[in-house]
A and B are shown apart, each in its own frame.
Chain A
């Protein structure tokens, strides 16, 4: 187990380093990047940048300097919002994004599992049909379209929910739903197929032969094993929700990190793009790492396998 964690940890560090390095050199290649000479920002900002990124030094020194900054959690300054550091934006935007993301993840996981389990237990029945129809629609409709439809119907036409900004729980309903639908659909489908497979396993027959009640068999013997594949998916889903939040925050005018990120892309605010990419990538990679560890804890077989590969 320790060896397994260690190996995953090393892979995580290498991936992080790769991202930081990629971001740095890609930004150097970007047309109109402040790393190139063609700058169109004010003199004071330029001077700041020169100093902060040591732009007058050779690229190797710049890179080392940049790595050092990242290690100290210093992502630099915005070009279009003078005086604002990426850290300022992160500390303002990330808590909102995190809250929205976690809410959506929670909703997606809980409702996805419930739908999937119900569908599997009533295999080929009406509930299965309804649940899978919901799931297929959830997967087919892109979240920005879902968001617009929700605003149009529930906020504009029916005026049930308020939109724009992030103030009351009521404000959170529509963006959470819009963000959670896709991942929920994916979880529901995976849970269903995994549950169907588990229910045909020999150990379920053993449990039946013991005279256990159907509820006990499902909860204790089937669900736990059926949910293992869902756990492995959590990392990828977090990534999906995170990128999804870019558009959702934009559409619902939520002052989260995603909105700043989209704005920075539109205004080609390279340092914000760079900083956010590195920060988000780091966040996701740590999430993936934690999910891997959680999987190792939940599945006792992992300890022996040591997953050579």
Chain B
């Protein structure tokens, strides 16, 4: 008998965001990836831009291309991404080494999972991330004030 067609139903990258009613940790997983890619992109661009100094091009100095409030705001976004990614990453290091997920228990309905067990750790880490973010915001406002006000 001929082989019947099978439809490939893999969700793919779009499935990270859509195509389902997902839980909180899954969106954290996605945000962690997006912020990680954002930081990586910034890092690569940073190497390219600063290496232009070899050709006597200084794009970040006053009056140059990157000395613009839009890019300053972009840097602020990178900092916000870093604050989240760093502390969420610390949470993942703990959790992925089997800490803060609890011990195996007999599953009795309504089931309690390791997700609720590790959530206090998430809250603590996000408090640290927020404190770091506030410092970054203060620095950003001061520098923007100087940039716009002269």
A and B part of one assembly = no
